[in-house]
Amino acid sequence: MQPEHIARGEGVGPGHLTMRDGDHAFEALRDAHVAALAGSLIDGVAHGPGGAGYVWSRSVPDPALNFAYGVRRPDQFAWAGAAALGRARAPAFLARDAEEVALLRALFEPAILRPARWMMARPPPAPFTADGAVALQATPAPGPDFEGVFANLSDDPAVRTHLRRTHLPALRAAKARPGLAPLHLVLRDATGPAACASLYLRGDTAGLYNVATRFDRQRRGLGTAVTVAALRAARARGVVQVFLHCPAGGGLEALAVRAGFRTVCAPILLCTSPS
């Protein structure tokens, strides 16, 4: 599969994720993740020997969007390293379980390990009803209110600069793709736009991304509120399951649990660079 096929949303992403076992869940959620973000934050997937692959982003250098998977042998490791370095990215490798971690650690010593949580939730049966606090935008790219929240999710100037240089341009340039329906949400409070989230709907499944609260409006339950609003909006559009990828042990994982998500897979990202 060539990168341009990914950018058009072809050949990836099941309509309904059936979690029969750990391996199937990992592969289904990985492919659904690529299908959801292809053409915005993710630009393509390169395929290598023995089923290995490399997911890459042209605009965003973060390892979570530039990683190899299915790497278990030296030849796959060499191919994945070349695929990353050829795109000016430090090689990173996604392991589905402890067995793959051990195989990768026999090939190299990672600079840092980043445990992740891949989670699922079923939207609540209550229909979504807009109460004036949540605005919905069914367009590929989010609007200015969304950008204003997402760009200020941290009080760290370096983080804000990184988001403005990488993530926001990629989100702004997103194009419509067949079979994928983006939906961006902005929750307002008395001060204005305060929290945001994005849904990428494909069949009866949706991916939840970009959940953020302005740093000066955090610890007020707004992140949970916009997440629950997203789940209800997904249900109103026929979605029966929503997936979420997040770092393990962080605030987003705790928020997701409060909103009804459960962990399906716990992969680990092994990075060759600490940054």
Return the minimum-mean-pLDDT range out of 4-13, 28-37, 143-152, 155-164: 4-13
Q: Are residues 149 and 48 in the same domain?
A: no
- Let me know if residue 202 belongs to a domain: yes
pLDDT in tens, 121-130: 999 876 655 5
Please answer whether residues 33 and 244 qualify as being in contact, where contact means their C-beta atoms are separated by less than 8 angstroms: no
pLDDT in tens, 40-71: 999 999 999 999 999 999 999 999 999 999 99
- Let me know if residue 271 belongs to a domain: no
pLDDT higher than 70, residue 13: no
| Residue ending a domain, choose from 60, 88, 119 | 119
User: Would you state the pLDDT for residue 24?
Assistant: 76
- Let me know if residue 270 belongs to a domain: no
Give me the mean pLDDT over the 18-39 stretch: 82
Could you tell me which residue, 9 or 74, shows the higher pLDDT? Answer: 74
**Residue 163 is part of which domain span?**
134-264
CATH code, 220: 3.40.630.30
In the structure, what pLDDT confidence band is assigned to residue 18 with cuts at 50, 70 and 90? low
Q: Are residues 68 and 180 in the same domain?
A: no
- Let me know if residue 86 belongs to a domain: yes
- Let me know if residue 127 belongs to a domain: no
Q: Which DSSP symbol is given to 73?
A: S
- Signed CA dihedral, 31, 33, 38, 41: sign only: negative
Give me the mean pLDDT over the 243-268 stretch: 95
Q: Are residues 165 and 247 in the same domain?
A: yes
Alpha helices in the chain (DSSP H): 3-7, 22-37, 74-85, 98-105, 144-150, 157-165, 167-172, 222-236, 251-258
Confidence (pTM) = 0.88
